[in-house]
Amino acid sequence: MNGAPVTHAYQALVVGAGGAGLWAALELARKGVKTAVLTKLYPSRSHTGAAQGGICAALGNHEEDHWEWHMFDTVKGGDYLVDQDAAEVLAKEAIETVIELEHMGLPFNRTPDGKIDQRRFGGHTRNYGEAPVRRSCFAADRTGHMILQTLYQQCIKHGVRFFDEYHVVDLLIEGGLTRGAVAYRIADGELHVFRSAAVLLATGGYGRVYRITSNAHALTGDGMALAYRRGVPLEDMEFFQFHPTGIVGLGILLSEAARGEGGYLRNADGERFMERYAPTLMELAPRDVISRSMYLEIRQGRGIDGGDFVHLDLTHLGREVIDRKLPDITEFVRVYQGIEPITEQVPVQPTAHYAMGGVPTDLHARVVVDERNTVLPGLFAAGECACVSVHGANRLGTNSLIDILVFGRRAGLEMARYVEGNELPDVPLTAHHRVEDELELLRTRRRGENPNVIRAELQSAMFDECGVFRTKKGLQHVARLIEHLKLRYCQARVEDGGKVFNTDLLDAWEVGYLLDCAEATVAGALARTESRGGHFREDYPERDDTNWLKHTLTYQAEGRPFLRSKPVTITRFQPKPRTY
Amino acid sequence: MQVDLRILRYDPERDKKPHWERYRVESGPMDRVLDLLHTVKWEQDGSLTFRRSCAHGVCGSDAMLINGRNRLACKIRVDQLGRKVSVAPLPGLPVVKDLVVDMEDFFAKYRSVEPFLINDSPAPPRERLQSQEDRERYDDTTKCILCAACTSSCPSFWAQKSYVGPAAIVNAHRFIFDSRDEGADERLEILADADGVWRCRTIFNCSDACPRGINITKAILEVSSAIVERRV
């Protein structure tokens, strides 16, 4: 079955065409580096486009603001697990990044004097926590859509070479050196080997590991799992963010912008219950705090109609604000819930939203593989699939869009430097055999289990046992289940035996990625006997800086996870109790 | 409720031509057509092939012909359609397999209208200023998600496949009417071509099909007017 694959040679390879990948590609194109971008979708369909509320930068267009305040909010928001050198880069470079986006043509909303408009967002404050500040730059409630469009447009302008609907199925790392990647062309099922000196993983998150998620079906942790399988650790995977305001049952996101513009959360008694949990910031407290508070209300019987949801109340904002600043999410409410948000309250529940963890990198997006930050030459990561770590234990709203762009740009610049001094590495003719054999087995096995059943079991167990609240018992249960599911996955079969556009095969292939990401997540969650940010252990409800002010590194060896750790970089802000 | 779902199937490795297949599917109260397709794929026939990603109407992957109209499968609820649902690939585009069409020509046409900001004057240290009115001027056409529902609903496009099509014109409009852009002349030149805006017969299918509610016909007419005004 092993035939000769189509081979390509590019100085640089970008895997994934969301904000991080596109900005990296743009920098590479500007430097004249021969670059290919591989995406399993079309670039305009990447999940960056689903981001709604805004991108933060201390522009100070409405009121005084400083990058130091932004940095502090990011560190505190991340419950002090943030690497502060990275947060400093983020907060400083946010400003020039947003200005450059505007210069590229991004249609930001405007202030009356024509500047970029800004609004409040959860956890973003003035003067180190005093009160909310207007820091989120936005384009209605489709900021991510505009960023994705603008960057794709710029890539077209600069002649970036795209390989659309190419699904990356293996990374080529041999002899301690990155050599390229293997991709499966969806249109005809052919394997393509891409030789390359520098490979950027920019594949986004893995929210599809959970039953209820805001994430696209495509978000299956491809880049993380590929790196993990090739010996790269994953960092801080136990920190997964649940966004408070998902549409009940579906998980579709209703942006935090709804609260940034003044929306309230109410329980069954009509109370603004955040008064009890975050009296200063109220509904603009960070997401981990609000999601936990919602569940506490629900547990105490104050969910709406006794159910597992509360209300998002926008009715006092008025039609003008809702139509002009929140048009898309109000349409979601109308389409997916049949509710009119101008006059009715909207049922919401937490939805799995964002991976704080990922492939560990340094400040130049270079992948690092141990506690001494040893660089793996030629491998880079940026965006949600990376962990630099600017989000620590909990990400603030609007910080993901700025993260993908600041570090996507840094990745592109560093890759351009790297390829200048490094030849295209050799790739053996058999490089694709390993993955080809696995794919062929999956495609042609005649008996076996439906992988969709395996995925559904995984998603339910992860949501129930490794969600907002966690316990040792629940995590042990899901850890054992994952081991079992991995064995069953080895015997799964797909129904579609064809070569042309075989989504049955690729959906099944992605289940393998999800299982690896879940394994690392649960291993970290089980080990971390404290509560911090998005990781809350009911059996260890306090933060424990003495034992746990450190990053988790999860490695895979012989199909099992094992853990190491590395220290947190602390520069300006010593850990303090986190209250809002 | 039980839904009678008909899907136009075609597998180039097995079939000589497309054919309808029927499925009985149980639909929940708020289910979308995408949920029905997933039910069939995951529980009845894994070979059913369609694109989808975000599943809430912002990525543009799952545009298809549903009960005779181009729509996003993730954005149309089954209860809006009734017990009989028919699904076919977008019309006028080559079918790759089942509900998947070849998008290459569609994206080539998008690229042909220079869909990027053109402004060669030196950028100021801060943002370029733009008034709220100027920003509003092109707001509608910034919403496009390149799903191809409009172009593949256009009879002028069906008749003449070289027509650049509504989606490309929408994306040209987004820049032509952006006060920061200096490339309007180039774009209007491209769209004044025989395969440009003049092929529009104001049939309004595109506006009806747009899942983002863009007034596409109006945008096309504004571009046509701009071409005429510049020639005077």
Q: What is the predicted pLDDT for the residue at A3?
A: 64
Over residues A145-183, the pLDDT tens digits come to 999 999 999 999 999 999 999 999 999 999 999 999 999
Residue A425's contacts (CB-CB under 8 Å, 6 or more residues apart) are A177, A178, A179, A180, A195, A197, A378
Q: Which residue of A has its CA nearest to B127?
A: A99
Token pair 């899907």 in the structure block, residue: B7
Pairing of strands A177-185, A166-174: antiparallel
Residue type, A502: N
Asked if B135 lies within 8 A of A107 by C-beta distance, the reply is yes
- pLDDT over threshold 80, residue B231: no
Q: Which residue of B has its CA nearest to A247?
A: B56
Residues of B in contact with A41 (CB under 8 A): 53, 59, 61
Calculate Rg over the CA atoms of chain B.
20
Asked if B128 lies within 8 A of A146 by C-beta distance, the reply is no
User: Could you tell me if B83 and B138 lie in one domain?
Assistant: no
User: Could you tell me if B58 and B7 lie in one domain?
Assistant: yes
Alpha-carbon gap: A157 to the closest alpha carbon of chain B (Å): 7
SS3 assignment, position A470: strand
Asked if A47 lies within 8 A of B59 by C-beta distance, the reply is yes
User: Could you tell me if B177 and B198 lie in one domain?
Assistant: yes
Report the distance separating Cα A223 and Cα A169, nearest Å: 9
User: Could you tell me if B129 and B73 lie in one domain?
Assistant: no
Query: With pLDDT > 70 as the criterion, what percentage of chain B qualifies?
Result: 99
Asked if B55 lies within 8 A of A503 by C-beta distance, the reply is no
**Tokens in use for A385?**
């699939």
- Average pLDDT of A68-88? 98
Q: Which residue of A has its CA nearest to B14?
A: A498
Residues of A in contact with B126 (CB under 8 A): 99, 115
Domain boundaries, chain A: 6-239+356-421, 246-350, 433-537
- Of A112, A140, A500, which is closest to B97 when you measure between CB atoms? A500
Instruction: Pick the residue of B127, B132, B135, B179 with the most A CBs within 10 A to test the interface with A by mutation.
Output: B127
Alpha-carbon gap: A50 to the closest alpha carbon of chain B (Å): 6
- Measured over the CA atoms of residue A154, residue A158, residue A160 and residue A164, the dihedral's sign is positive
At B156, phi and psi to the nearest 5?
-65, -35
Residue A16's contacts (CB-CB under 8 Å, 6 or more residues apart) are A38, A39, A46, A200, A201, A202, A203, A204, A223, A383, A385
Residues of B in contact with A494 (CB under 8 A): 46
Report the distance separating Cα A22 and Cα A13, nearest Å: 11
C-beta separation of A448 from A195 below 8 A:
no
Residue B104's contacts (CB-CB under 8 Å, 6 or more residues apart) are none
User: Could you tell me if B74 and B135 lie in one domain?
Assistant: no
Inter-helix orientation angle A503-527/A472-489, to 10°:
150
- Average pLDDT of B150-168? 98
- Of A42, A47, A115, which is closest to B107 when you measure between CB atoms? A42
Q: How confident is the model at residue B232 (pLDDT cuts 50, 70, 90)?
A: low
Q: Is A324 a catalytic residue?
A: no
In residues, how long is chain B? Answer: 232
Residues of B in contact with A49 (CB under 8 A): 54, 58-59, 145
Asked if B127 lies within 8 A of A49 by C-beta distance, the reply is no
* Closest residue by Cα to residue B179 from A101, A111, A114: A114
Count of domains observed in chain B: 2
SS3 assignment, position B86: strand
- For chain B, the distance separating the N- and C-terminal CA atoms, rounded to the nearest angstrom, is 60
User: Could you tell me if B121 and B210 lie in one domain?
Assistant: yes
Residues of B in contact with A46 (CB under 8 A): 59
Asked if B49 lies within 8 A of A496 by C-beta distance, the reply is yes
Q: Which helix (H) or strand (E) holds A55?
A: strand A55-56
Query: With pLDDT > 90 as the criterion, what percentage of chain B qualifies?
Result: 98
Q: How confident is the model at residue A325 (pLDDT cuts 50, 70, 90)?
A: confident
Token pair 């090739």 in the structure block, residue: A230
Report the distance separating Cα A120 and Cα A137, nearest Å: 9
User: Could you tell me if B135 and B81 lie in one domain?
Assistant: no
Given this chain, do its domains A6-239+356-421 and A433-537 carry the same CATH topology?
A: no
Q: How confident is the model at residue A328 (pLDDT cuts 50, 70, 90)?
A: confident
Pairing of strands A310-313, A346-355: antiparallel
Q: How confident is the model at residue B128 (pLDDT cuts 50, 70, 90)?
A: very high
Report the distance separating Cα A379 and Cα A172, nearest Å: 10
- pLDDT over threshold 70, residue A517: yes
Asked if B96 lies within 8 A of A501 by C-beta distance, the reply is yes
Tell me the DSSP string of A176-232: TEEEEEEEEETTT--EEEEEEEEEEE-----GGGSSSBSS-TT-S-HHHHHHHHTT-
- Of B49, B59, B139, which is closest to A49 when you measure between CB atoms? B59
Neighbours of A100 (CB within 10 A): 17
Tell me which of A119, A195, A211, A287 is the catalytic residue. Answer: A287
CATH of the domain at B176: 1.10.1060.10
Tell me the DSSP string of A324-360: HHSHHHHHHHHHHH---TTTS-EEEEEEEEEES-BEE
Classify residue B43 by burial, with Cβ atoms within 10 Å: 0-12, 13-18, 19+. middle
User: Could you tell me if B161 and B58 lie in one domain?
Assistant: no
Asked if B55 lies within 8 A of A216 by C-beta distance, the reply is yes
Alpha-carbon gap: B232 to the closest alpha carbon of chain A (Å): 29
C-beta separation of A13 from A180 below 8 A:
yes
Over residues A250-283, the pLDDT tens digits come to 999 999 999 999 999 999 999 999 999 999 999 9
At B122, phi and psi to the nearest 5?
-60, 135
Alpha-carbon gap: A252 to the closest alpha carbon of chain B (Å): 7
Token pair 């919401």 in the structure block, residue: A348
Residues of A in contact with B138 (CB under 8 A): 107
Token pair 């569609």 in the structure block, residue: B106
- pLDDT over threshold 70, residue A2: no
Residue A367 C-alpha from the chain's centroid: 17
Architecture of domain A246-350: Alpha-Beta Complex (3.90)
- Tell which of B75, B101, B127 closes a domain: B101
C-beta separation of A137 from A121 below 8 A:
no
Cα A426 to Cα A173, A277, A423, distances in angstroms: 11, 58, 9
Q: Which domain holds residue B36?
A: 2-101
Report the distance separating Cα A52 and Cα A37, nearest Å: 25
Fold of A6-239+356-421: FAD/NAD(P)-binding domain (3.50.50)
C-beta separation of A578 from A79 below 8 A:
yes
Report the distance separating Cα A13 and Cα A38, nearest Å: 8
Alpha-carbon gap: B225 to the closest alpha carbon of chain A (Å): 23
ipTM of the complex: 0.97
Residue B78 C-alpha from the chain's centroid: 21
The backbone region for A105, taken as left when phi is positive above 0, alpha when psi lies in -120 to 50, beta otherwise, is left
Q: What is the CATH number of domain A433-537?
A: 1.20.58.100
Token pair 């200096």 in the structure block, residue: B182
User: Could you tell me if B83 and B172 lie in one domain?
Assistant: no
Neighbours of A319 (CB within 10 A): 10
- Measured over the CA atoms of residue A188, residue A191, residue A196 and residue A202, the dihedral's sign is positive
SS3 sequence, A97-161?
A: HHHHHHHCCCCCCECCCCCECEEEEEEEEECCCCEEEEEEECCCCCHHHHHHHHHHHHHHHCCCE
User: Could you tell me if B46 and B57 lie in one domain?
Assistant: yes
Give the residues across from A134 on adjacent strands. A120
Give the strand order in the sheet containing A550-557.
A234-235, A550-557, A560-567
Over residues A199-222, the pLDDT tens digits come to 999 999 999 999 999 999 999 999
- Of B47, B58, B138, which is closest to A504 when you measure between CB atoms? B47
Instruction: Pick the residue of B44, B53, B97, B129 with the most A CBs within 10 A to test the interface with A by mutation.
Output: B53
User: Could you tell me if B91 and B112 lie in one domain?
Assistant: no
Report the distance separating Cα A457 and Cα A461, nearest Å: 6
Across A480-559, where does the E strand assignment appear?
Answer: 550-557
Least confidently predicted of A305-309, A356-360, A414-418, A499-503: A305-309
Q: What is the predicted pLDDT for the residue at A1?
A: 47
Classify residue A344 by burial, with Cβ atoms within 10 Å: 0-12, 13-18, 19+. middle
**Tokens in use for B224?**
């046509």
- Tell which of B101, B135, B150 closes a domain: B101
Residue type, A185: R
Residues of B in contact with A140 (CB under 8 A): 139
- Average pLDDT of B73-91? 97
In residues, how long is chain A? Answer: 580
Asked if B131 lies within 8 A of A157 by C-beta distance, the reply is no
SS3 assignment, position A313: strand
User: Does the reported pTM lie above 0.90?
Assistant: yes
Q: What is the predicted pLDDT for the residue at A5?
A: 86
CATH of the domain at B51: 3.10.20.30
- Of A102, A328, A498, which is closest to B13 when you measure between CB atoms? A498
Residue A56 is classified by DSSP as E
- Of B55, B107, B181, which is closest to A217 when you measure between CB atoms? B55
- Tell which of B78, B101, B124 closes a domain: B101
Report the distance separating Cα B32 and Cα A36, nearest Å: 36
- Average pLDDT of B190-197? 95
User: Could you tell me if B178 and B125 lie in one domain?
Assistant: yes
